[in-house]
Structure 1
Amino acid sequence: MKRRKVGNMLGLAVLSVVLERPMHPYEMAAVLKQRGKDADMPIKWGSLYTVVANLEKHGFIEAVESVKDGGRPERTVYRITPAGREEFEDWVRELVGTVDPEPPRFRSGLSMMGVLGPDQTISRLRQRLGELDERAGKQRAVLEQLRPMMPRVFLIEVEYDIAMTEAEARWVRGFLDELTSGALPGIDAWRRYYETGEFPDDLGEFVEQE
């Protein structure tokens, strides 16, 4: 992944809204929250003003005016620059076309699940599967609610979320079937290792059923 002058994903979100029209930071946050962008990317709202300042520092946005709204402090309005639009488009191209090298947290957990033993693993995966099924149901409900109001091109990320959630649920369900039926090769050796703490001298025990 390319190292960017402003790498915080909130910077990408800010560029997306000032691409439409000039805004002050408070309005940027309001629009992003209204559109649920904090569900699409990791956003820490407390860093908004720092991110805006960094975008301005590197020439991606520029101040156009300061506005006074009643008794509130003066607010600076920013617009995107040509360099900012180029950065925004390049960033989106990278996100769409490049595979993220960072492994998901679930993969990290799976790589260490031997310490839990088969029974705890089954219990935790059942919990995960229930949460995945619940999440997929909520995502489908959101999609059905938004479909009459928005073109599909603006709902693609919701479709992606549903597909990824359902794919993970299918995989977890299949692996659970192997665990609960005892069909997973080496499950007995794994259980003995968990119960005794003694790792088998012959790794073949983890490959073939006894």
Structure 2
Amino acid sequence: MEGTMAKRRPVSNLLGLAVLGLLIEQPMHPYEMGATLRERKLDGSFKVRTGSLYDVVEALQRVGWIAADTTEREGRRPERTVYSLTELGQLEFAQWLDELVRTPVKEYPSFLAAVSYLGALGRNRAVQALQERISVLDTEIRAIQASQDEAKRQQVPRLFVIEADYAAAMAIAERDWCVRIVDEMREGTLTWPARPEPAVSAPAPSGQAS
């Protein structure tokens, strides 16, 4: 695969990757898939919505990557179809995963877009906005580290939760960058356009009129 162009797939929604990964473990019905992703805190990596999950499952079945295995019923609940991974699906999953790990893809995060115009906020408001982001990131980092500690307590193999390592590293790196930029603003080492501060009020707290 090295040196080749990325393959166009009939199913490219990353939620499909999550479904295939779950079905490697065991056959599941879509409700169980969604519950498992949320339980493992993977809804931060994949957009887990009931409607989109069923759409992805249907698409995966249509291209032959998964197949309906059995149906089961609990009490008066509607029947649920249990799906399993096909040999084709296992091959496609491995190729897809290999490509995602091997080849960096240009992404367009909203924060990067906002940073491009940070000067338009004015120094004071930019400092305030970044300080609030730092606070949010601190909370996020603590939550990730708590989940890592819980995984260690339960003796979950580190490889099975390695995405938490990556998420923590990215959040810490972003926080450290924000702290450094705030420090440069306060010290005056980050040059700023010589124009009046914008007369724009900060967002009102939720539930209050602007």
Q: Same fold (TM over 0.5)?
A: yes
Q: Determine what percentage of the aligned residue pairs are the same residue.
A: 40
Q: For residue 156 of structure 1, what is the amino acid of its counterpart?
A: I
Q: Do structure 1's residue 52 and structure 2's residue 53 form an aligned pair?
A: no
Q: Is the 8 A contact 2:34 2:48 kept in 1?
A: no
Q: For residue 19 of structure 1, what is the amino acid of its counterpart?
A: I
Deviation at 1:193, TM superposition (A): 5.8
Q: For residue 187 of structure 2, what is the amino acid of its counterpart?
A: S
Larger Rg: 1
Q: How far apart in 1 are the matches of 2:11 and 2:143?
A: 33
Name the counterpart of 1:160: 166
Two-structure CA RMSD over aligned residues (Å): 1.9
Equivalenced residue count is: 193
Q: How far apart in 1 are the matches of 2:111 and 2:139?
A: 17
Name the counterpart of 2:17: 12
Name the counterpart of 1:192: 195
Deviation at 1:114, TM superposition (A): 2.2
SS in 2 for 1:70: coil
Name the counterpart of 2:70: 65
Q: For residue 144 of structure 1, what is the amino acid of its counterpart?
A: D
Name the counterpart of 2:188: 182
Q: Deviations over 1:22-56 (max 9, x none)?
A: 22222222222222221232322321211111100
Deviation at 1:2, TM superposition (A): 4.3
- Distance 1:58-1:137 versus aligned 2 partners, 3 A rule: same
Deviation at 1:64, TM superposition (A): 2.2
Q: Is the 8 A contact 2:22 2:33 kept in 1?
A: yes
- Distance 1:73-1:42 versus aligned 2 partners, 3 A rule: closer
Name the counterpart of 1:169: 175
Q: How far apart in 2 are the matches of 1:64 and 1:14?
A: 15
Deviation at 1:194, TM superposition (A): 4.7
Name the counterpart of 2:133: 128
Q: How far apart in 1 are the matches of 2:81 and 2:92?
A: 22
Name the counterpart of 1:118: 123
Name the counterpart of 1:207: none
Give runs of aligned pairs for residues 72-91 of structure 1, distance below 5 A. 72-91=77-96
Q: How far apart in 2 are the matches of 1:26 and 1:158?
A: 24
The runs of 5 or more residues in structure 2 that have no matched partner are 1-5, 200-210
Deviation at 1:166, TM superposition (A): 1.0
Higher normalized helix content (fraction of residues): 1
TM-score (norm 1): 0.84
Find the partner of 2:150 among 145, 163, 166.
Answer: 145
The runs of 5 or more residues in structure 1 that have no matched partner are 197-210
Q: Deviations over 1:54-105 (max 9, x none)?
A: 1000010111222333322222221111111111112211222221211221
